[in-house]
Structure 1
Amino acid sequence: MILFALRRFIGFAATLFVAALVIFYLLDLLPGDPAQFILGISSTPEKLAQLRSQMGLDAPAHERFFGWIWGMLQGDFGTSYTQRAPVAKLIWDRIGVTLPLALFAMVISMAVGLPLGIIAARRRGKAVDTGIMILAQTGVAIPNFWFGMLLTLLFAVVLRWLPPGGFTPWHEDPLLAFRGLILPSLALALPQASILARVMRTALVDVSGQDFIRTARAKGLTMGEAVWRHGVRNALLPVLTILGLQFAFLVAGTIIVENVFYLPGLGRLIFTAISERDLVLVRGATIILIVAVTATMLVTDIAYALVDPRLRERGAP
């Protein structure tokens, strides 16, 4: 198990390095000069050269890349060009919105998707199964930002139960902050709950035909009892992988949803930084999202190996 975890951690570190390399050089190739953007069209060549030197833009790309990596390892993500503040502080201030949003959406998708998948599997071929699968297919097809607008129209404009957007800091009013994340969480959770329902149903249907289910039936258990006591646990193995992928998608999906609901999270920070050509801030915030995604996949792989000993015994990649 230790060797398995070590192999996964090496892959995690290599993925982060390659991702950082791609992010740095892709952003470096974007047209436009950050120094020119800051000074405006009235800047002189002397002022432009001076600012580029202060920002370190005149150094070779490989020196700037490894300097950026070394700084991040020490907790220094640089200073934002436009906001004149440390990037690490800006990210820390926004992560308190993005992380709870992704976690709430994950809880909602599990609370909705897994029970619906179990119900559909137990009523396989019946009207309930067909109805749930139609709803799941619809949920996958609907864009989360469009669903978010519908939720806002219904619960914020018509019913006036929830705020239409914005965010109150947690330390000011935790209840109001939570209320502000309900609609965005629902918008993010809809497609993920639909995927979970379909995966859970498929896994449970496959498990229901296994020998251990027939053995349980032979011992006197009903089909429902056999599936609930023995089938669900085994069907959760492939679902674990999907859950890891879903959290990664939820973290990345906050970029769009945060802009729809005007939430001051990490996604909105990246969007604003891109529009202002603040490359230092874009790089720092993007690498944090990638760390969150790859770390989730690492934890998922290790959890899968803990649940399924066959995976670590054969040292599967």
Structure 2
Amino acid sequence: MIVYLLRRLLTFAVTLFIAALVIFVLLDLLPGDPARFVLGINASEASIAAMRIQMGLDAPAHERFFGWIGGMMQGDFGISATQRVAISKLVAERMAVTLPLTIMAMILSMLVGLPLGIVAAMRRGKPTDTGIMILAQTGIAIPNFWFGMLLTLVFAVGLRWLPTGGFTPWHEDAGAALRGLILPGLALALPQASILARVMRTALVDVAEQDFIRTARAKGLTKAEAIWRHGLRNAMLPVLTILGLQFAFLIAGTIIVENVFYLPGLGRLIFTAISERDLVLVRSATIVMVLAVTATMFVTDLLYALVDPRLRRENS
């Protein structure tokens, strides 16, 4: 298990380094002058030169890259070129919206998708199975931003149960903040719940055909008892992989959904920074997203080892 953990930690570190390098190359070495864009076309050359020094653009590329990496390791992500605020402060404020939204969407997708997948597998070939799979396919096909607007029309504009958009800070009214995340959380969760339902069904159907399930049935267990006691644990292996990948999709999906619902999250911060060509902010906010996704995959690998004892034995 120790060897397995060390390998996963090494993979985690290498992935982060490569991602940081790619982000730096794509953003910091793009054509154009960020300093000139920030100051405007009427700025003098002296002002532009001073801004380039202030943004650290006068240093060689490799020095800027390793300086950025070293600063992040110490919690210093730099200063936003347009907002003149520490990026670490901006990211922390926006993560207070994006992280709860992502967790809510993840929980909703599991609460809906996993039970539906289990029911479909238990009712394989019956009308219930067909109906659930049709609903799942429909959920995958519907864009989350369109579903979000539909939810807004029904529950916010029509019924007036929930706000149409915006966000109340947690410290002002936690209940209002939570209500503001329900509709975008549902919009993000729909396609992920549909995918989970299909994966859970397929995994359980495959497990139900294994010899150890037949042996359990031969010992007197019903089909449902055999799957619950012996099959569900094995079926969770592919589901764990999907759950890890879904967190990445949910993080990326917040960029669109947060703009639809006017949520001041990390996705909207990146969108605004791109429109303002604040490359320092885009670079640091993007690596935070990469860090969150990579950390999720690392935790998924550890859960894999807990669920499947063969991984522990092979790497012990």
Q: What is the TM-score with the length of structure 2 in the denominator?
A: 0.97
Q: Deviation at 1:247?
A: 1.2
Matched, 1:143 2:143: yes
Q: d(CA) in 1 for partners of 2:212 and 2:273?
A: 55
Identity of aligned residues (%): 77
Aligned residue for 1:157?
157
* 3-state SS of paired residue (2:289): helix
Matched, 1:278 2:278: yes
Q: Deviations over 1:53-76 (max 9, x none)?
A: 222112111111111111111111
The aligned runs of 1:1-317 (5 Å cut-off) are 1-315=1-315
Letter in 2 for 1:121: A
Q: d(CA) in 2 for partners of 1:174 and 1:48?
A: 44
Letter in 1 for 2:145: F
Q: d(CA) in 1 for partners of 2:46 and 2:234?
A: 68
Q: d(CA) in 2 for partners of 1:212 and 1:49?
A: 72
Q: d(CA) in 1 for partners of 2:168 and 2:186?
A: 18
Size of the aligned set, in residue pairs, is 316
Letter in 1 for 2:128: V
Q: Deviation at 1:140?
A: 0.8
Structure 1 stretches of at least 4 aligned residues deviating more than 3 Å after TM superposition: none
**Does the 8 Å CA contact 2:108/2:189 hold for their aligned counterparts?**
yes
Q: d(CA) in 2 for partners of 1:308 and 1:227?
A: 17
Q: Deviation at 1:167?
A: 0.4
**Does the 8 Å CA contact 2:233/2:307 hold for their aligned counterparts?**
no
Q: Deviations over 1:160-210 (max 9, x none)?
A: 111011000111111110000000000000110001000000000011111
Q: d(CA) in 1 for partners of 2:12 and 2:223?
A: 42
Q: d(CA) in 2 for partners of 1:314 and 1:140?
A: 37
Q: d(CA) in 2 for partners of 1:94 and 1:64?
A: 25
Give unpaired runs (5+ residues) of structure 2. none
Give unpaired runs (5+ residues) of structure 1. none
Letter in 2 for 1:145: F
Q: Over aligned residues, Cα RMSD in angstroms?
A: 1.2
Letter in 2 for 1:306: L
Q: d(CA) in 2 for partners of 1:39 and 1:80?
A: 14
Q: d(CA) in 2 for partners of 1:208 and 1:255?
A: 39
Q: d(CA) in 2 for partners of 1:50 and 1:102?
A: 40
* 3-state SS of paired residue (1:30): coil
Q: d(CA) in 2 for partners of 1:106 and 1:57?
A: 40
Q: d(CA) in 1 for partners of 2:197 and 2:54?
A: 54
* 3-state SS of paired residue (2:83): coil
Q: Deviation at 1:218?
A: 1.7
**Higher mean C-alpha deviation, range 221-230 or range 19-28:** 221-230
Q: d(CA) in 1 for partners of 2:30 and 2:147?
A: 33
Q: d(CA) in 1 for partners of 2:155 and 2:198?
A: 28
Q: d(CA) in 1 for partners of 2:40 and 2:138?
A: 48
Letter in 2 for 1:81: A
Q: What is the TM-score with the length of structure 1 in the denominator?
A: 0.97
Q: d(CA) in 2 for partners of 1:265 and 1:54?
A: 27
Q: d(CA) in 2 for partners of 1:191 and 1:200?
A: 14
Q: Deviation at 1:28?
A: 1.8
**Higher mean C-alpha deviation, range 201-210 or range 248-257:** 248-257
Q: Deviation at 1:35?
A: 1.1
**Higher mean C-alpha deviation, range 214-223 or range 68-77:** 214-223
